[in-house]
Structure 1
Amino acid sequence: MSTQDWIAGFRTPLVNPAEEIRLAESREFAGETLRQVVRLAGGGSRLRVRLSNRYAATELVIGAARVAPRENGDAIVSADEHVLRFGGATAARIPAGGEIVSDPVDLAVTAGTDIVLSLYFPEPTGPAAFSQLPGESGWVVAGDHTGAGALPGAEETTSRYFLTGVDVFTAAATPVLVAFGDSWFEGVGSTHGANRRSVDVLNARLTRGWAVNQGISGSRLLSDQIGERGLTRFDRDVLAVPGVAAVWVNFGINDLILAGAATAAELIAGYTELARRSHAAGLPIYVNTIGPFAGAIYPGLTVADGLPVRTEVNAWLRDSPLFDAVFDVAAAVEDPARPGFIRPDYDSGDGMHLNDAGARAMAETATIPAFTETPTPATV
């Protein structure tokens, strides 16, 4: 029996470029190289890359693909660059709605390694499935420059396209925590490119395994509008993650402030269903209370109507026996002098998202035993 296996070292969920509500605009590529940076949550002796043509109406053609450690900015460590192959070929065609996994690459990586994925698209891609606000830059340049050491003059983008994950070959017993939720996981409000999201902060504290980030900014538990609803994407974005051993949940704000806002009863039913499905799969589930949002500066939100519902749902969460633990993020980041508002020193400036200090405070509420304790050796 092998003691090693493929485990998720990085994950990023994608949204439909034709979403009803868009926080960023997708784009098409044609005759261009796209270079993207990935911070790995965990390492291994080899890696493989996952690409998706989800939501597309046309075939996606990958003309060339390479992976390498990052030097800085858009520059790679050329001496350790590797060509990606797909079924032995250096090019690939992904059908509309399809997914592909690269062949393994003999590139040893560790937790915290930044790797750079370069993709060349020789034919028009159509609007790309993408992560809207991943908190990391990418670069686009005309022509096939997948093997270039750097891309001077390239256009910078702050979204991530086609990429859904990186797997690493490591100890089969490595546990993966899936952070499943919204922008408070994806990291809106934290410093761009600095990896100071709440999930990053938690990873620095874990002594076993690691956490991968399946947060979508604007995501709702109960409704589609910005990405598929949490209850719909749970199987793909949690249960299908290789190595998943537990799930950490943060939803609620978007369910309460966007059009068609949920009632307390509806949100409670949604959380209850998440707990049922997690436990049915043998996974512990850890849930955050819903953070404050009274200071949200964006127009058209149902903030006043959502605040009392938040209070009711949080009271239920704090007392609920359905979860393996409830982390009181709301209490940790709320302004004691102004209930419903984020503390000024934790507010990113928009009244609805946390800055770096707030993300750290959020992460510090989380204690997850299986990831911080040394397992007891099995007896024979």
Structure 2
Amino acid sequence: MFTAAWTASPQQPSEGFTPNWSREGFWRQSLRQVVRLTADGGRVRVRLSHAYGTSPLRIAGATVARAAAGAAVEPGSLRRLTFGGADAVRIPARGQVVSDPAELPLAAGEALTVTLHFDAATGPATFHAQAFTRSHRGPGDLLMETDGNAFSEVTESWYVLSAVETDAGRADGIALFGDSITDGFGSTPGADRRWSDALATRTGRPVLNAGIGGNLLLNDSAWYGEKALHRLSRDVLDHPGVDTLVVLLGLNDIGFSETDEQPTYKPSPVVTAAELIEGHRELIRQAREAGLRRVIGATLLPFAGSDHWGERAAKTSHALNEWIRTSGEYDAVADLHRALADPRDGDRLRPAYDSGDRLHPDDAGYAVMAEAVADVL
């Protein structure tokens, strides 16, 4: 039985906050991406997403290997992937494919490289904007490149790759479903210090990160993904081995309408606590219908002083958090608001946990979040 050991939620091509290659796509190039697995196994397969493609996408070839420094891989670990026995595959518009398994013993916590070769123009590429680790691009067919020197360009996004699965045979995976805080914004790039990483280390269980920076519970965004109500099935429930869902959502629905500083936040309708509560109830319903064993609600973190804060935001976030704590509709509650609050002002992040914008935690804050969730699993 295969288990999802790593995931990244697909997004439509966009500029985002940092430069990326999603709109230009790829042509006669190879792309090498590095991911950290949270489940071991003797065989590995990958899931490739063309969710936002408008014409078929050709993958000329793919390999996996144990990662070394930068774009290099461990000598002797390269394995070619096949798709229905063939080296190449065409992914239909808005479709996905799963590779055949490749023999490659891997340990939880180990870094894996996935290399894709594109010999035809891809057009704009489905991607995940904020990887907080480097991906590498180089000219031509570099599938069997070991030292990585030919990969001359770097980005901090993932492209086409949406999951890595191993034959761990486990069914106790934890999926974290949220926005930029779940995605890991504010953590140290390249260091795997998101709260999903910390939780995997703390529990020894597979942990899937289904966060998208800027994501909204109730509304779609051209920049920040489909609304959570629509993407839960694709980004969590359809992955093998998921047992528990942790929901941390609503902060952007509340806060985007408080600021004019980011044009990408528009449109940003004002939503009520009652509407957000109904959105959480719908996520709970979907998860239970899919057979998940536990659905855990996480309270919104303190965010006073950030660009998301205002009088209305304060009232709405307080009401939503109180419902999460007291309604009994979640199987358990991780009270992240209380765990990360400044003792002198409960609406603000504790300074030791603030990455600098009064909204996103730093590495220490993410570690505290993982502990708070681990305590209620």
Map 1:238-253 → 2, pairs under 5 A = 238-253=236-251
The answer as to whether partners of 1:295 and 1:342 remain within 8 angstroms in 2 is no
Identity %: 39
Establish whether residue 270 from structure 1 lines up as the match of residue 279 from structure 2.
yes
The answer as to whether partners of 1:256 and 1:303 remain within 8 angstroms in 2 is no
Query: Which residue identity lines up with residue 174 of structure 1 in the other structure?
Result: A
CA distance in 2, matches of 1:151, 1:332: 42
CA distance in 1, matches of 2:147, 2:119: 20
Q: Deviation of residue 352 (structure 1)? A: 1.1
Query: Which residue identity lines up with residue 281 of structure 1 in the other structure?
Result: A
In the superposition, the TM-score normalised over structure 2's length comes to 0.91
Query: Which residue identity lines up with residue 206 of structure 2 in the other structure?
Result: W
CA distance in 1, matches of 2:171, 2:279: 29
Q: Deviation of residue 256 (structure 1)? A: 0.5
Q: Deviation of residue 367 (structure 1)? A: 3.1
* Ranges in structure 1 where 5+ consecutive residues have no aligned partner: 371-380
Q: Which residue of 1 aligns with 2:259?
A: none
Map 1:173-192 → 2, pairs under 5 A = 173-192=170-189
In the superposition, the TM-score normalised over structure 1's length comes to 0.90
Q: Quick one: which of 330, 346, 365 aligns to 2:353?
A: 346
Q: Deviation of residue 81 (structure 1)? A: 0.6
CA distance in 2, matches of 1:72, 1:191: 17
Q: Deviation of residue 261 (structure 1)? A: 3.1
Q: 1:59 to 1:368 in 2, by over 3 A?
A: farther
Q: Which residue of 1 aligns with 2:72?
A: 75
Map 1:93-242 → 2, pairs under 5 A = 93-152=90-149, 154-171=152-169, 173-207=170-204, 209-225=205-221, 226-242=224-240
Q: Deviation of residue 87 (structure 1)? A: 1.2
Query: Which residue identity lines up with residue 85 of structure 1 in the other structure?
Result: T
Q: Which residue of 1 aligns with 2:338?
A: 331
User: In the comparison of the two structures, how many residue pairs are matched?
Assistant: 359
CA distance in 2, matches of 1:130, 1:304: 36
Q: Quick one: which of 1, 11, 20 aligns to 1:15?
A: 11
Deviations 1:316-347 (A, max 9, x none): 11111111111110111122223322111111
CA distance in 2, matches of 1:281, 1:50: 20
Q: Deviation of residue 243 (structure 1)? A: 1.0
The answer as to whether partners of 2:31 and 2:115 remain within 8 angstroms in 1 is yes
RMSD of aligned alpha carbons? 1.6
SS at 1:72's partner residue?
A: coil
Q: Which residue of 2 aligns with 1:48?
A: 45
Deviations 1:244-285 (A, max 9, x none): 111011111111112113210101111122222222333210
The answer as to whether partners of 1:54 and 1:98 remain within 8 angstroms in 2 is yes
Query: Which residue identity lines up with residue 184 of structure 2 in the other structure?
Result: G
Q: Deviation of residue 66 (structure 1)? A: 0.9
SS at 1:185's partner residue?
A: helix
CA distance in 2, matches of 1:349, 1:338: 17
* Ranges in structure 2 where 5+ consecutive residues have no aligned partner: 257-267
Q: Deviation of residue 121 (structure 1)? A: 0.8
Establish whether residue 311 from structure 1 lines up as the match of residue 318 from structure 2.
yes
Q: Which residue of 2 aligns with 1:288?
A: 298
Query: Which residue identity lines up with residue 275 of structure 1 in the other structure?
Result: I
CA distance in 2, matches of 1:318, 1:10: 29
Query: Which residue identity lines up with residue 154 of structure 1 in the other structure?
Result: S
